[in-house]
Structure 1
């Protein structure tokens, strides 16, 4: 609200005296009165509420959008997306520059970060065409308009992780001559940015569809479903159940997997058996395409046998995984069974170069993807535990 002076007396009743003008902007406003209610005014206007803007000075308003033109206004976005901030000015000559600084708000919402710090955080932003990043950038005005394009990447990820609610709210502090404002004017119009996580669960032979007369047995789904339940319902989390053949060849990745994922998401991949072999390849393919592959988990990957390699829908060469963290679980079953015999025919892949960050040998049977996924490693945590903790650092 802006303008005027408000006096309220609440003794035996209440009254409000406003000197000057009083302007308020509300998402929702409720007013109640007792048995008597009177309203008088020289002029009363009814209609749709107007967008908040400064009535005086060089700055009018600011807003976030998903498009360069500014017609698709937004208040929410995901890490990795490109967004635009629009500043409308008043009486600033073309070519003159305004100062702009991007902040994450921690004041208006009284937020505290997990490291105990508080107060709005300045974010270093690169000027258009420049290679340096700084908090304060001067941007030229053209026809009383400035548009700032931002790729929501870099340090923003760690800032989101530091927030208890795993969300940051972005606004710009703007200056020209002796005027300093924060835009958008309304806190409700700040851009709320969070992370989105996608987990790809890739099954092996006979998992999602029959293989040599066996299946479908849904082995990887027995690992996926309890994990999804453990994470809980969240708009920031999603998972996909895939067959190994859907991650091969490149054309299937482009037609089946890529339409269901986004480069703004953090990708985690869990593959079992032949699905582990293709998952390792998929991690490299997606990384090379610009996706952010955070973690790869291969559950007893199989595919080294020449016959299986050439007769199944898997990649011929050995994988060269690309992910920020890699866990590989090798099966040496305590009670040898027919599925273990079939897996041995496919020949287990024992990765050496590059080597996984965590290698573990389990005594579970090859077909028990859920037990392999939850078997405790030497550090006392299972692959499922490590994946859960990694995701919970990113989303609420």
Structure 2
């Protein structure tokens, strides 16, 4: 299974003295660079994103659904490209940024998650490290779990989590895809967690509904055979005590397939109160379109601050 961008870590300069290996002292320039903020963004795609997916596909000419290989469509890679284009446009220091494009199946097992830590994070100073996780569909579900792993097991701080129309609740999707069984709970981020529910009409939305969207803050109750709240949502954008609800919840008029448009287009986004019901069509709007700041804006503003030259 392929794993993200293959960025090789530079080897430490070493010198041999009296048969022993010693590191050269850092130059003043090296010290200055290491003390600057380092930014790592994980972009985690869903089904038919980084690799093809065998599943139901609508054939317009035949007007029917057939099982076939579909994709890859690179939805989350497009999000990555857009963010990186903005770094270039704003003349930011890209040498201190690293973007990793992953499939949901590459953060499925703890062993994989640990490998990502060793490859991309362990070589960086935690004190100056900023981490962002952006996941779409199945990648949103597994990405939230990855956030928990970094915070709870590896003691990193995640600054932003963006879950774009996350899917992973259904038992059926767990059989055919590498998605983690349990619900992500007690999400902890330093700045904010943004969740987007995409309600536009498309076949992709129908597939997402079959896989069962994750409504953050709710879990499946075996005793009642229904969704039950994991905690009481606070009135405004904050999370509850168990960190179950996003800081910002949105409704997007775009369909499930449109990861980039779902986080960027303020003209199609509404901010809603933290979900008071697990049903997709029951929500309370607290900021109508166009909203002041999109999920993209929140992260982009932070990137400009972190990576300014």
Above 0.5 in TM-score?
yes
Identify the residue that residue 236 of structure 1 maps to in structure 2. Answer: 96
- 3-state SS of 1:292 partner: coil
114, 117, 142: which one aligns with 1:278: 142
Residue of structure 2 aligned with 1:207, choices 37, 42, 49: 49
Q: Structure 1 residues 389, 211: CA separation in 2 closer, same or farther (over 3 Å shift)?
A: same
Does the aligned pair in 2 maintain the 1:247–1:257 contact within 8 Å? Answer: no
Question: In structure 2, what is the Cα distance between the partners aligned to 1:74 and 1:360?
Answer: 47
Instruction: Please tell me whether the aligned partners of residues 203 and 219 of structure 1 are also in contact (alpha carbons under 8 angstroms).
Output: yes
Query: Aligned-pair distance for 1:70?
Result: 7.6
Q: C-alpha separation between the residues in 2 aligned to 1:393 and 1:217?
A: 32
> 1:195, CA displacement in angstroms?
0.3
Q: CA deviation at 1:226?
A: 1.3
Counterpart for residue 366 of structure 1? 256
Is 1:284–1:323's contact at 8 Å kept on the other side of the alignment?
Answer: no
Q: 1:292 aligns with which of 154, 157, 174?
A: 157
| Cα drift, residue 237 of structure 1 | 1.3
Residue by residue over 1:164-201, the C-alpha shift from the partner in whole angstroms, topping out at 9 and shown as x without a partner, is: xxxxx6xxxxxxxxxxxxxxxxxxxxx87210111111
Structure 2 counterpart of 1:184: none
Whole-Å separation in 1 of the counterparts to 2:99 and 2:162: 14
**Rounded Cα–Cα distance in structure 2 between residues aligned with 1:217 and 1:192:** 37
Q: Which has the higher contact order (CA 8 A, sep 6+)?
A: 2
Deviations 1:221-261 (A, max 9, x none): 11110111101252121211110001111111223453123
Can you give the 5+ residue segments of structure 1 that lack an aligned partner in the other structure?
1-68, 79-168, 170-190
Which position in structure 2 is the counterpart of 1:388?
Answer: 300
* Secondary structure in 1 matching 2:53: coil
User: Aligned residues, how many?
Assistant: 215
Secondary structure of the 2:101 match is strand
Structure 2 partner of 1:322: 188
Q: How does 1:193-272 map to 2 (within 5 A)?
A: 193-212=35-54, 213-232=69-88, 234-256=94-116, 258-262=118-122, 263-264=124-125, 265-272=129-136
| 1:215 shift after superposition | 1.1
Alpha-carbon separation, structure 2, partners of 1:192 and 1:374: 32
Work out the CA distance in 2 between the residues paired with 1:205 and 1:341.
Answer: 14
Residues in 2 aligned to 1:197 and 1:77: alpha-carbon distance in whole angstroms:
17
Q: How does 1:330-341 map to 2 (within 5 A)?
A: 330-333=197-200, 336-341=201-206
Aligned-partner SS, 2:135 = strand
Residues in 2 aligned to 1:357 and 1:301: alpha-carbon distance in whole angstroms: 16
2:27 to 52, 74, 81: 74
Instruction: Kindly name which structure, 1 or 2, has the bigger radius of gyration based on alpha carbons.
Output: 1
**Distance in 2 between residues matched to 1:291 and 1:361, nearest whole Å:** 30
Which structure 2 residues correspond to residues 1-396 of structure 1 after superposition, within 5 A? Answer: 71-76=24-29, 193-212=35-54, 213-232=69-88, 234-256=94-116, 258-262=118-122, 263-264=124-125, 265-288=129-152, 289-320=154-185, 321-324=187-190, 325-333=192-200, 336-352=201-217, 353=231, 354-376=244-266, 377=269, 378=287, 379-396=291-308
CA distance in 2: counterparts of 1:332 and 1:194, whole angstroms: 41
Counterparts of 2:250 and 2:30 in 1: how far apart (Å)?
Answer: 38
RMSD: 2.0
- Could you tell me how far apart the structure 2 residues matched to 1:77 and 1:357 are? 37
**Contact 1:339 1:365 (8 Å CA) reproduced:** yes
Structure with more of its chain in helix, by fraction:
2
Distance apart, 1:273 and its partner CA: 0.1
Give the Cα–Cα distance (whole angstroms) in 1 for the partners of residues 44 and 161 of structure 2.
Answer: 11
Contact 1:310–1:316 under 8 Å retained in 2: no
- After superposing on structure 2, the runs of 4+ consecutive aligned residues of structure 1 that deviate more than 3 Å are none
User: In structure 2, what is the Cα distance between the partners aligned to 1:282 and 1:244?
Assistant: 10
Unaligned runs of 5+ in 2: 1-21, 55-68, 218-230, 232-243, 270-286
Contact 1:271 1:301 in 2 (8 A): yes
Q: Deviations over 1:304-353 (max 9, x none)?
A: 001112331111001122222200001111xx211111111111101124
